Structure 1
Amino acid sequence: MGLPREDQEQNGGEEFIDKQKLAAPIKSVVDKYRLLPEFLKVRGLVKQHLDSFNYFVNIGIKKIVRANDRIVSNFDPGIYLRFKDVRIGEPGAMVDSFLEKLNPHMCRLSDMTYAAPIFVNIEYIHGSHDQKTKVEKNDVIIGRMPIMLRSCQCVLSGKNEAELARLGECPLDPGGYFIVKGTEKVILIQEQLSKNRIIIGTDKKGNINASVTSSTETTKSKTVIQMEKGKMYLFLNQFAKKIPIMVVLKAMGMESDQEVVQMVGRDPQYSAMLLPSIEECASHEIYTQQQALDYLEAQVPYSCCTYCWKCLFLYSVL
């Protein structure tokens, strides 16, 4: 409802909106049920599927290729293969040595997979030590990817009702699924913790911990710092057991206990919190960075690895 004319004039001719009331939680189940159709009208049930697939096709797959863009020969480092770019083509399949365009209805009837080729631009070196040649090739097919219906790569994207009917599709079909060998397949939604964000919580015993799942295009690891009996420990998959936090800090180059306390905070409560961990580190007779690295090296479970490899591994972890 709008305000009376005189109230609108006092507000510069604009209708007043109570933002606090709009932001208030909806308590009535009846009111929530009334909002459901509007929510589905705006967002839909498959928007998260389409957004995720579109992001992967346009951005995600390029990041993965960029992170693993170079393959070097084990015998001659000068011989390599490099991926320069990647893109997804239009849905199609080879029929009698000819590339035939596909649509979802055709795949359902013919028990085919609704997929598109993956094209890459490559650069590689070949030849002997004396004569090496660089070769560049574009649009090399390295595989095929199933295409989600109604995504940006689908032939149904942007079609009106008449065009959809001509392609044998229902205009009310929201998409968000795949067609594999003529059968419709849906990827189930999974809920997982946010990546690259520190999450504070407690374990089953009530110990306070801070955890973060670090993820890149190539690696994934989980780091946990936990309080146990007033002492702080680091839990990492690369180590066989928990590591006192002061040992980790000394291995990173902070050999002075006073320096560690000053970096954490000047408040006396931080000093009192770190004191048990400092005493535990001293009980292990660890005072220098090298002593801390030797302690961590003993916790690496790979006994067959050389000392140099373990040192490089520890530096990469830290």
Structure 2
Amino acid sequence: MSFLPSPDHPLGTDLWTDDLQALIKSRANIRELQQWECFPTSLTQLVEWATVAQHPTCTDRRRSHLIIYKTLPVPEPCGVLYPVSVRIYSFLDKFCVGEFGNWTGDCAKAAYAVQSLSISGTRNTIAWRNQLECLNLAATFASHVLKIPLPAKQFRGHVHMQRKVFTKDLHPPDDQVTPPVNSAPQNAHLPKLPDYPWVWNGPVKILECNRDGTISPIHKVLLSQGHFVEIDAEFDLVVVRTHTSRTHLRVFLTCKQILHLQSARSVQASGTAWPPSSYTEIKRMRANATTDDHHGTLQFSLVPCEPGCPSSSQVPGSFAE
């Protein structure tokens, strides 16, 4: 994964608040960063740092391109493509990151199965805008390389990203005589994994950074709106042809991993005091029973509760009137 820098810091930490700076700095030693871990700040640098390559196995021509690293310390040629992935720091907004995404368990009705999440930087506008500029720089780079225009700025405001949990294999290999059957063990509390032609891609990894710096997996229920997280995301290039036969490029993000760094702060923990409340008199209704002519009649009267005095229901051994 590569860090998105600011003009004055390779990790972009100078634009965040002090507490969040410490969390981001704990993720890497800037003195040991390699070239591929530092996302470029200009198109000129991007040309030397990355390139756009044809996906070797993708059968969907609309999604047949990848932004890949050029500066990885691997021997050439190695026959392996490494897609560029970036670390995005933000606050969780809405998310659906269950192991089966939005799938209900009915393969006959499933058009797709995805996990999704949206993030924003409403609490740190400057740092968030800096990250958006880096993401838009990558989109502009891909547009120039493919010579396909972008319809508009791709990343602005909230960022929504997805990950496909299942994909449908529409073009099986010629030597595949019988469709494969999913023999993975099943959990009685989870929907049955679909068989061919659905292909399991695996869910988003959900992790937590412990106080000692170690990383451990956590359950999705421990995530909540407002948590500060590190997102590992790849660029998804989609070539779109409109009904007027015009072609343009759309750039999305595919989430691979969520690393929880800090829980959402409560109002009181952030230093905001609750507003003082003025005294409000409390009056209770009391029923007085009379027995005139042997007919019970209820008469109600207002009984004020004195300031600072407990009600009768709060006094041990007594009953509320």
TM-score, with length taken from structure 2: 0.17
More strand by share: 2
Q: Which structure would you say has the larger RCO, counting Cα contacts within 8 Å and 6 or more residues apart? A: 2
TM-score, with length taken from structure 1: 0.17
More helix by share: 1
